[in-house]
Amino acid sequence: MFAASAAVFVIAAAAPAARAAWPEHAVKVIVSLPPGSGADTTARFISKYLSQELGQPFVVENRPGANSFIAARAVAESAADGYTMFVASNSPMVTNAAVFKKRPYDPVKDFSPVASLARFPMVLVVPASSPYKTLQDLVTAAKQAPGKLNYASGTPTYQVAMERFHDRNGIRGNPIQYKGTSPAINDTAGGNVDYSIAEVSAVMPLVHAGKLRPLAVASDTRIKELPQMPTVSEAGTKGFEAYAWTGVFFPANTPPAIVDKVSALVRKTMNSADGVAFIDNLGGTVFTGTPAQLRDFQVKEIEATRKIVKAANIPVE
């Protein structure tokens, strides 16, 4: 009897343990921008739905600063086990690849793409007290005083967009660098710089407060937040568009089953009535895609941004 029991014990001990279902505990969701940003609010929105669907908390952690290096590196160096997720904008995942020679991470090799989320059109703004009433007023003034007008650059992405606008119009401006979008936009509202560009959700509070004057929206069509405001193309710079976008990434080599599971849930959430309404309320549009589609889009965006940086002579650090 004892021997039989021992044999059973040996067999049981030798049997391989069953793989636990993911997730067994909380998932960390890292955002490289501060609370209240488009990436942050979108991260919190999808985290709520993922928590409900998967039965474990998805906890957002904001790690802003250093051109998103801090957050991106933290994710890239995390275990590829599905317990660290990155809700990132195009700044760390595209622009940094074009404007920084040395980075503590590789935006392509160090990450597994999951799904794109949304895109937000940029708006070109001036202080409410500015003499420039239209986009053409600004272009004319810049042509009359090459390199004399100052613009606020909150992130490398916005600087690239602004320099692309300059290049299209044959003008120059003097970039003033800020540590984030909020201080750049606030300084523009305060009249300390002549103009700036940022995504719609970042500028609208100060537009509503009467501190910023929008000149044009860098989207393909007019937007409901500014229905009377022309697009940049309508205002004279034909075909110019500029968007901030967000997407979800895991560390490289995260198991495909986890990546595909989260991708399907994220796309379902974003394309739901609640998801569309949420992004619409932020001034953006839902912009989803599979892991393969996000990777293809990201690589093409990096290539295009590098061409812009080279053509506009943006310094590469």
Q: Which domains does the chain have, with CATH numbers?
A: 27-119+245-311 (3.40.190.150), 121-217 (3.40.190.10)
Number of helices and strands in the chain (H, E): 12, 10
DSSP string, 95-158: IHHHH-S--SS-TTTTEEEEEEEEEEEEEEEEETT-S--SHHHHHHHHHHSTTTSEEEESSHHH
Structure tokens at 27: 């998932």
Residues of the chain by 3-state class (helix, strand, coil), percent to 5: 45, 20, 35
Question: How confident is the model over 56-81, as a mean pLDDT?
Answer: 95
pLDDT for 124 equals: 98
Among all chains, which residue has been given the structure tokens 């999808």? 46
pLDDT for 17 equals: 42
Q: Which of 72, 62, 61 is nearest to 100 (CA)?
A: 72
Cα distances from 258 to residues 146, 247, 291, in angstroms, run 52, 16, 12
Amino acid at 127: P
Q: Assess contact for 244 and 199: CB atoms under 8 A.
A: yes
pLDDT for 44 equals: 97
pLDDT for 20 equals: 64
pLDDT for 61 equals: 97
pLDDT for 263 equals: 98
Strand, helix or coil at 192?
Answer: coil
pTM value is 0.85
Structure tokens at 26: 């909380």
pLDDT at 294 over 60: yes
User: pLDDT (tens digit, 9 = 90+) per residue, 130-149?
Assistant: 999 999 999 999 999 998 99
Strand, helix or coil at 23?
Answer: coil
User: Strand 58-62 and strand 27-31: pairing?
Assistant: parallel
Range name among 82-96, 222-236, 301-315 with the lowest pLDDT average: 301-315
pLDDT-derived band at 1, boundaries 50, 70, 90? very low
CB atoms within 10 A of CB 173: 22
Range name among 71-80, 108-117, 156-165 with the lowest pLDDT average: 156-165
Mean pLDDT of the residues in the chain:
91
pLDDT for 313 equals: 79
CA torsion sign for 287, 290, 296, 299 is positive
Q: Assess contact for 183 and 219: CB atoms under 8 A.
A: no
More confident residue, 4 or 291: 291
Strand, helix or coil at 212?
Answer: strand
Q: Facing residues of 124 across strands? A: 197, 216
Could you give the CA distance from residue 196 to residue 124 in angstroms, rounded to a whole number?
6
pLDDT at 198 over 60: yes
- What is the DSSP secondary structure assignment for residue 231, as one 8-state letter? B
Q: Assess contact for 210 and 203: CB atoms under 8 A.
A: no
pLDDT for 67 equals: 87
Question: How confident is the model over 186-215, as a mean pLDDT?
Answer: 96
Largest Cα span, the chain: 100
Could you give the CA distance from residue 142 to residue 166 in angstroms, rounded to a whole number?
9
pLDDT at 181 over 90: no
pLDDT for 201 equals: 86
Question: How confident is the model over 217-240, as a mean pLDDT?
Answer: 94
More confident residue, 202 or 264: 264
User: pLDDT (tens digit, 9 = 90+) per residue, 31-40?
Assistant: 998 887 788 9
Question: How confident is the model over 281-289, as a mean pLDDT?
Answer: 92
